[in-house]
A and B are shown apart, each in its own frame.
Chain A
Amino acid sequence: MLKLHYNLEKVSMGLVGAIIAVASVGGIVEIAPLFTIEETVEIPDDMRPHTPLELAGREIYVREGCYVCHSQMVRSLADELDRYGPYSLAAESAYDHPMLWGSKRTGPDLARLGEKYSDDWHVAHLIDPRAVIPVSIMPAYPWLTRPLDTALIEDNLAALARLGVPYDEAMITNAEADALAQSRPDSEGADGVRARYGEDVAVRAFDGDAGRLTEMDALVAYLQSLGTLTDAPQKMFAEEAQ
């Protein structure tokens, strides 16, 4: 070994080749199988992708760096199951480019947040967290009441479809209209959203004002969708409990 290195350190390109070869092994062994084994590629039948409005909310979640303080990954530990709910499955983030599992919980985990609180609660909390939870240290996001820019929504869906997220032609071409309609329950487009994304999709004026499509609509729609894209974890949890 030492003799081998002694000779190697006299040949610069030899050293380069050896570093690349030795450094590649770990990644290849750990990463390559993840693209083939059932545990990581199986997707439940009822799994749906995010609606255009939720996706726009996800972009805002990323833009504001929410993932810096909130994880979206319930670990398989007793206290986490009691605090948050069923542990997260690989399939739940299968359509997430990128995943938002997070690495720090300055605030609580959000993987099971969907429909836990009312829309009004979220709106009030995002505008001024301390109005709802006096000792919260979350920053306020008062600017989220501005109008949502939907110019890129169609392109976003198209790009994700190219990466394998199951958005069909109709979903892509109607993306902008669907984003608006999901926040207007009484509009004609609302049925279209349900037809394309499923009856369980929440169609509401998330920010309390159906007249305006705001960033708040998008973000709250996204937060309310967390953990609701499939029932698989709840079903598995119920089966295990029996």
Chain B
Amino acid sequence: MAMIGTLTTKERQIGMGLSAILLVLGLAMAGVARQGPMALHGAIAMILGLALVFMLGGSLYDQSEPSASRLTRYYDAPTRFGIVMTLIWAVVGMAVGVWLAALMYWPEATPPWPATSYGRLRPVHTSGVIFGFGGNALIATSFYVLQRTSRARLVDAVSPWFVLIGFNLFCVWAATGYVMGQTQSKEYAEPEWYADLWLVVVWVTYFVLYIRTLARRAEPHIYVANWYYMAFILVVAMLHIVNNLALPVTLGSGESFTIWSGVQDAMIQWWYGHNAVAFFLTAGFLGMLYYFLPVRAQRPIWSYRLSILSFWGIVFFYMWAGSHHLHYTALPYWVQTLGMTFSIMLLVPSWASAGNAIATLNGAWHKVRDDATLRFMFVAAVFYGLSTFEGSFMAIRPVNSLSHYTDWTVGHVHSGTLGWVAMIVFGAIYSLVPKLWCRDDMAWPKAVEWHFWLAITGTLIYVVSLWNAGITQGLMWRAYDEGGALSYSFIESVEAMLPYYAARTLGGGLFLAGALLCALNCRATMRAAGDRVDESDRPLATQPAE
């Protein structure tokens, strides 16, 4: 394996040791649990550990050491692996999403066995795209951006692999657990306690790697992209730990009860849920935007001050906004009001970021026209602005009374995830893949253009159909006839949704087709990897002055 070739004998030995620990851990898990999802998860960890031990062990004799000059270059092998995982999860997660969308139109197609039921597959879709697709993209790009903006090589070669492989093990545990019916039921935090603990270990390693590399930077200032990546790492850790505090039923059952209950649990869950949007799906991707957009456009960030304002605004305001998920519920009124107020104020830092990104393109609009990769990033910034506006609007109490519980919310989320998050990831991938596989361009440059139009058409169809669905639903639920009785039964509102559900399946399908095209294009590019190495892409060494 080419990846192992980048490791020294010492590093391979450390890797083997860690893999052996994983093997033992998996064995212990399987042994304690004996049956059920936790036993299977132990077995998966065991097999992974065993495979890694063999791969690394075999290479101890077969492969030669990397040259010492590697230390004067950036370490990109983990980023390459992360991008491959990003693409795999994109296809898996989005395909499940499209299948579920189809089931809402055509429920009779549900197979008669438990594992593929709608309720079990739904978290496979959400975790698959948020953590699998989004998370891998964030980790992979953060390693790349961190090194370039710090002008320093990653501080060691083992921990980036630990972070990526460990994170993907978490994702696999999550997805396989759901189909077996294992869930905490907390949205976007469904995995059980042992998977949560494992993620904490992975995340601490990630943070230590990040901060140690940053400490080695050859730049006095930390670049704005890194502020966001750091906020992403730190705050996600905070949210994850607090929301997932749970008491296991027994050590071997793989089941637990959250220590929070009722209204406190609701508040903590949506403090988590909304900030998962803020710090997983926004902060990290803003880091991506702040690096790849100016680099691709070859223009400096428009305003340094605006990026400071928007950064601290997002870090401070977002944390208050979660309670807008609980308008008119049993949550005390003042907490709802705080959530609404801060959600509206959030528009300021959000639009500061979106505006800053768009203004950065001034003087490069011809590139936006000609280069589909840059256009992905531009559209991402536009959708970021649109979704954050919509989000602030929907947090206003009376608006929320109509939109909440309806498909409008689902449409809003997808305008953010498809239009903003996925678009910026695709932009970053099309920038990175040729560079990391030593080519001038993607293998099929025209397919990037096709992908762009599939993605934008799919997103628009999806979002517009669910706007219509949600508003129709909300209005039907609250409609009264002249006699003062409710006009519609609930099932009539369900029936009214069917055309919109069909349209959204089409929109999602187009988006999936684009993602598939992207994966194939990347595969073709990787297979035709060149050997041209960009000698300038290395940490700037001190130069003798004449």
Interface residues of A (CB under 8 A from B): 1-2, 5, 9-10, 12-13, 15-16, 19-20, 22-27, 29-31, 34-35, 37, 39-40, 59, 62-69, 71, 73, 75-80, 82-83, 87-109, 129-130, 133, 135-143, 152, 155-156, 159-160, 162-165
Within 8 A of A (CB), among B273-307: 305
Contact of B263 among A16, A34, A103, A165 (CB under 8 A): A34
Question: Could you give, for residues 358-395 of chain B, a 1 whenever the CB lies within 8 Å of some chain A CB and a 0 otherwise?
Answer: 00000000000000000000000000000000000000
Q: How far is the CA of A43 from the CA of B119 in the complex (A)?
A: 32
Task: Give the 4 A-B CB pairs with smallest separation, nearest first.
Answer: A65-B119, A26-B319, A26-B320, A75-B328
Q: How far is the CA of A35 from the CA of B268 in the complex (A)?
A: 12
| CB–CB A105/B118 < 8 A | no
Interface residues of B (CB under 8 A from A): 103-105, 107-108, 110, 112-114, 117-120, 122-123, 181-187, 211, 214-215, 220-222, 227, 230-231, 234-235, 238, 242, 247-250, 253, 255-269, 271, 305, 308, 312, 315-323, 325-332, 335, 338-339, 342, 401, 404-406, 409-410, 477-478, 480, 485-486, 490-491, 494-495, 498
Chain A residues, CB < 8 A from B105: 137
Given A5-B312, A23-B238, residue A139 in contact with residue B119 (CB < 8 A): yes
Chain A residues, CB < 8 A from B409: 103-104
Contact of B320 among A30, A96, A109, A130 (CB under 8 A): A30
Nearest CB in chain B: distance from A181 CB, A: 22
Chain B residues, CB < 8 A from A89: 330
| CB–CB A163/B319 < 8 A | no
| CB–CB B112/A163 < 8 A | no
Q: How far is the CA of A96 from the CA of B184 in the complex (A)?
A: 12
Contact of A156 among B211, B249, B258, B265 (CB under 8 A): B249
Further 9 A-B residue pairs, CB within 8 A, beyond A40-B264, A103-B405:
A27-B271, A30-B271, A34-B267, A63-B181, A89-B330, A93-B265, A96-B265, A99-B262, A106-B494
| CB–CB A16/B211 < 8 A | yes
Q: How far is the CA of A143 from the CA of B181 in the complex (A)?
A: 13
Chain A residues, CB < 8 A from B312: 5, 22
Q: How far is the CA of A71 from the CA of B258 in the complex (A)?
A: 19
Q: How far is the CA of A139 from the CA of B120 in the complex (A)?
A: 11
Contact of A163 among B119, B242, B257, B316 (CB under 8 A): B257
Q: How far is the CA of A164 from the CA of B261 in the complex (A)?
A: 10
Chain B residues, CB < 8 A from A108: 490
Q: How far is the CA of A12 from the CA of B113 in the complex (A)?
A: 52
Chain B residues, CB < 8 A from A30: 267, 271, 320, 322-323, 335, 338-339
Given A26-B319, A29-B338, A152-B255, residue A19 in contact with residue B110 (CB < 8 A): no
Residue among B103, B105, B329, B486 having the largest count of chain A Cβ atoms under 10 Å: B329
Q: How far is the CA of A30 from the CA of B333 in the complex (A)?
A: 11
Contact of A139 among B107, B267, B478, B485 (CB under 8 A): B107
| CB–CB A31/B267 < 8 A | yes
| CB–CB A97/B258 < 8 A | yes
Nearest CB in chain A: distance from B414 CB, A: 13
Chain A residues, CB < 8 A from B120: 63-65
Given A2-B308, A34-B335, A99-B263, residue A10 in contact with residue B221 (CB < 8 A): yes
* CB nearest neighbor in A for B271: A27
Given A16-B230, A73-B330, A75-B327, residue A97 in contact with residue B271 (CB < 8 A): no
Contact of A77 among B114, B308, B323, B478 (CB under 8 A): B478
Nearest CB in chain A: distance from B34 CB, A: 12
Chain B residues, CB < 8 A from A29: 320, 338
Given A15-B227, A82-B486, A162-B247, residue A97 in contact with residue B260 (CB < 8 A): yes
Nearest CB in chain A: distance from B398 CB, A: 10
Q: How far is the CA of A35 from the CA of B261 in the complex (A)?
A: 10
Chain A residues, CB < 8 A from B266: 93, 99, 101
Q: How far is the CA of A93 from the CA of B264 in the complex (A)?
A: 10
Contact of B230 among A15, A26, A142, A156 (CB under 8 A): A15
Given A10-B220, A94-B262, A95-B261, residue A141 in contact with residue B117 (CB < 8 A): yes
Chain A residues, CB < 8 A from B182: 63
Q: How far is the CA of A152 from the CA of B6 in the complex (A)?
A: 48
* CB nearest neighbor in A for B336: A30
* CB nearest neighbor in A for B484: A82
Chain B residues, CB < 8 A from A10: 220-222
What are 25 contact pairs spanning A and B, CB under 8 A?
A10-B220, A20-B238, A25-B320, A26-B319, A26-B342, A27-B319, A40-B262, A40-B330, A64-B117, A65-B185, A77-B328, A82-B485, A91-B262, A93-B261, A96-B262, A98-B186, A99-B262, A101-B329, A106-B104, A133-B491, A138-B107, A140-B107, A152-B250, A156-B249, A163-B261
Nearest CB in chain A: distance from B409 CB, A: 7
* CB nearest neighbor in A for B328: A75
| CB–CB A93/B263 < 8 A | yes
Chain B residues, CB < 8 A from A1: 308
Given A98-B260, A160-B257, residue A105 in contact with residue B234 (CB < 8 A): no
| CB–CB A143/B114 < 8 A | yes
| CB–CB A79/B123 < 8 A | no
Residue among B258, B339, B405 having the largest count of chain A Cβ atoms under 10 Å: B405
Chain B residues, CB < 8 A from A40: 262-264, 330-332
Q: How far is the CA of A22 from the CA of B278 in the complex (A)?
A: 14
Contact of B265 among A24, A77, A98, A109 (CB under 8 A): A98
| CB–CB A99/B265 < 8 A | yes
| CB–CB A79/B494 < 8 A | no
Contact of B222 among A12, A34, A73, A129 (CB under 8 A): A12
Chain A residues, CB < 8 A from B485: 82
Chain A residues, CB < 8 A from B401: 75, 77
Q: How far is the CA of A34 from the CA of B261 in the complex (A)?
A: 11
| CB–CB B315/A19 < 8 A | yes
Q: How far is the CA of A49 from the CA of B263 in the complex (A)?
A: 16
Nearest CB in chain A: distance from B254 CB, A: 10
Nearest CB in chain A: distance from B331 CB, A: 8
Nearest CB in chain A: distance from B89 CB, A: 20
Chain B residues, CB < 8 A from A100: 185
Given A99-B263, A136-B491, residue A159 in contact with residue B247 (CB < 8 A): yes
Chain A residues, CB < 8 A from B404: 75
Q: How far is the CA of A109 from the CA of B120 in the complex (A)?
A: 20
